[in-house]
Chain A
Amino acid sequence: MLFDKRLIFVTGKGGTGKTTLSAAIGKAASKMGKRVLVVDTSEGGALGTLFSRGALLSEPVDLDSNIQGVRINPKKVLEEYIQKYISIGFIANRIIRAELFEHLAEATPGLREIMTLGQIWRWEKRKDEQDEYIYDMIVVDTPATGHGISLLKQPRTLVEMLRFGPIAGQTRAVQEMLQNKDKTALFLVTAPEELPVNEAVQFIRVAEEELNMEIGRIVVNGLYSELFSPEEIVMIDKIPENGPNPEKKAYDIIIDSAKTYISRKRTQNYHVDRLQQSIGQELLRIPYFFTNALSELEIDAISGLLRQREPS
């Protein structure tokens, strides 16, 4: 069950709607009474705007009842980590210290990713005075780069290089958290188009073979609904196309729109079928919204769909 997990990494090709789905999963879980943290790993602030506010901050803030949001700044996490776990009080000069962090991060590719995951790991473990978890679920909107594979793969390569020391220790713990299938799942978002579907199929293979992580749910985002009946489609198909013509009548315009709709719907169906055939689980289908700026209303609608599909 997706909503039994404590940690969900939302992955997918850029432009498929990862951020939208991250927000919707967060909302759905909070409606089930869970305390949720949604995590933005990007440098923009898109996740915040879906909750009708600006870019998220580096400390969790309330977004809605039971939902907090945060944006991870790997540089800041690294600084805090070093201050907290490794005493370097002897470097008094803040500017030199900042420069050292910068060089350290530059010289160790992958350190930013590890710091991001390490921070998520600490939030996951965080408990209050009654020894209860502060968060029941953490939803991570992963970076668009290669489905966030580079983020999720990093622990392994870093451990290979380090083997010992505090960072290697933390990295091992992070690795365990990622591969704990009772606790952690991937949530794959794709779109009903050529490239997103191809990449989703590739990602499923990588998740199983290389990341050893579970894919909890696969969603196709932006699907046109079944507006016209099969008979109506046959009828509209029969109406001849009319080319570009500035004097179009109302009739031509609405038929053009209907033809557009039907043709896109066919392309979408083709790609969705292709995806469905190559995966083992049932796809969750999210409808298309006719706007290019989603708001909380659409997020609520999607979160409703996510909850419906979860047996109570």
Chain B
Amino acid sequence: MTFLEQLDKVGIVICCGSGGVGKTTISAALGIHGALTGRKTLVLTIDPANRLADSLGVGAFEHEEQRIPEEKFHSIGLRPSGELYAMMLDTARTFDRLISKYAISEAMRESILENRYYQHLSSTLAGSYEYMAMEKMFEIYNEKRYDLIILDTPPSRNALDFIEAPNRISNLFGNNLFRKILRPYMDAGKAGMKMFRLFASPFQHMIRKMFGGRVMDDLFDFFHLGDDTFLDGFRSRADAMKSILSGSDTLFLAAAGPNAAPMNEAMFLHQRLKESDLPFGGFIINRVHPLLPDIFQTPAFDEMEFDPDLLDKLIKNYRNFQALGISDALSVRQLAKTAGPGVKIQTIPYFEVDVFDFTGLYRIYEHLLET
């Protein structure tokens, strides 16, 4: 199976990797593949690069799904049998929408939205793009309107945050220990609070000492407001996300550049995916410099008619790029060694101009076609 053929068998492709390696561009190129293989494809991104949106012919990415005009494909002589869509994630309101979804009454919804603990939680988690991306992808996946969803994962402190996101939320809302600890406090109710404090569990004691009593009350309110149905809604959602991520309809890809830091990150990611038994499709190494031939072995080196000063500069410059080509090749070779046999690695060369037009995206796609 070639690198891209792997995509034909799944409904979700998750493109991970550290920031600055060109994940969004790669995701868009994978989207082209989806459309060309006859599938209705959505590329989900948080990337604000408007020039990329321009190149796809959608003006600016919006928080609604937008069809990439077919003329874009026609302009480079392609007739896709599928459709390509793109969408930028709206991270701000996703959380509140979820509350509305699971709250069983209007009163419950409003009380939760006004709760200070909730406000802290949601404002902090709203910054947690990885969770929001996960949430949105899951929602769209369940609607079954697309054959293929490609998720350009947000830059995170660590690419794994993304994989852990459903777990974290599940723990937060559904963890038995946490709820067990709070439960006695909740059962005691506000009236019985004074009495109850005498018997507070060590955990509550710790929270009270660290954060002050008010937080305990807010926590209480939050978990009291959200009854079991509400909390279970969150928990079962997280569990469902987890099972889809580890199922056969998902494929993880690791994008990196040849530099040491993103390479290490990608190897680390691969290691963790392997440990968690998640489906891994391979590495895409972007912006790799070519190996240059040794000019001193090619004929006619002496016949160049440059002024000696310029010739020195030209040779110095050539040597720099030659060194870079060797350095990048070694880096890719090291990756292959560490990843072990059978792991796919696809390299994309360094393009001389930033890839911000459809032709450029198609060129990347062509490199992904090679095996």
Contact = CB atoms under 8 A, between A and B. Distances in A.
Interface of A: 13-16, 19, 42-44, 46, 49, 82, 86, 88, 90-91, 99-100, 103-104, 106-110, 143-146, 149-150, 153-154, 157-158, 160-168, 191, 193-196, 198, 227-228, 232, 235, 248-251, 253-255, 257-258, 260-261, 263-264, 267, 290-294
A86 B208 CA distance: 10
Contacts of B320: 257, 290
Interface string B306-320: 000010011111101
A292 B177 CA distance: 47
Contacts of A264: 352
A261 to B, nearest CB: 5
Given A15-B18, A165-B210, A251-B304, A292 B264 contact: no
Nearest to A49: B260
B206 A250 contact: no
Given A44-B264, A250-B304, A161 B120 contact: yes
Interface of B: 18-21, 47-49, 51, 116-117, 119-121, 123-125, 127-128, 155-158, 168, 171-172, 175, 177-178, 181, 202-203, 205-207, 209-215, 218-219, 257-262, 264-265, 268, 292-293, 295-296, 298-301, 303-304, 310, 313-318, 320-324, 327-328, 331, 352-354, 356
A14 B324 contact: no
Contacts of A291: 323-324, 327
Given A100-B206, A106-B172, A167-B210, A257 B293 contact: no
A14 B47 CA distance: 14
Contact of A251 (B215, B300, B316, B353): B300
Nearest to B155: A14
A266 B135 CA distance: 41
Contact of A257 (B117, B168, B260, B318): B318
B116 A145 contact: no
B317 A227 contact: yes
A165 B317 contact: no
B49 A198 contact: yes
A254 B356 CA distance: 27
A284 B135 CA distance: 41
Contacts of A196: 20
A43 B318 contact: no
9 contacts: A13-B155, A86-B209, A106-B178, A109-B128, A157-B120, A164-B214, A165-B215, A196-B20, A232-B313
B19 A15 contact: yes
A151 B128 CA distance: 12
Contact of A261 (B171, B268, B317): B317
Given A198-B48, A248-B298, A292 B317 contact: no
Nearest to B356: A194
B49 A46 contact: no
B125 A292 contact: no
Contacts of A104: 203, 206-207
Given A103-B175, A160-B116, A165-B211, 4 more contacts: A14-B19, A100-B202, A100-B206, A165-B214
Given A193-B354, A227-B316, A257-B317, A292 B328 contact: yes
A163 B318 contact: no
Contact of A158 (B120, B324, B331): B120
B47 to A, nearest CB: 8
Contact of B299 (A86, A154, A249, A293): A249
Contact of A109 (B47, B121, B177, B328): B121
Nearest to B120: A161
A177 to B, nearest CB: 20
A109 B327 contact: no
A104 B204 CA distance: 10
B61 to A, nearest CB: 14
Nearest to B300: A249
Contacts of B352: 260, 263-264
B120 A110 contact: yes
B171 A106 contact: yes
Contact of B295 (A146, A191, A250, A261): A250
B349 to A, nearest CB: 11
A154 B124 CA distance: 8
A263 B350 CA distance: 13
Instruction: Output the residue of B123, B155, B171, B315 with the most chain A CB within 10 A.
Output: B155
A196 B116 CA distance: 35
Contacts of A258: 314, 317-318
Nearest to A78: B210
Contacts of B119: 161
A146 to B, nearest CB: 7
A290 B324 contact: yes
Contact of A46 (B177, B264, B299, B322): B264
B94 to A, nearest CB: 15
A39 B77 CA distance: 53
B171 A43 contact: no
Contact of A15 (B20, B48, B209, B219): B20
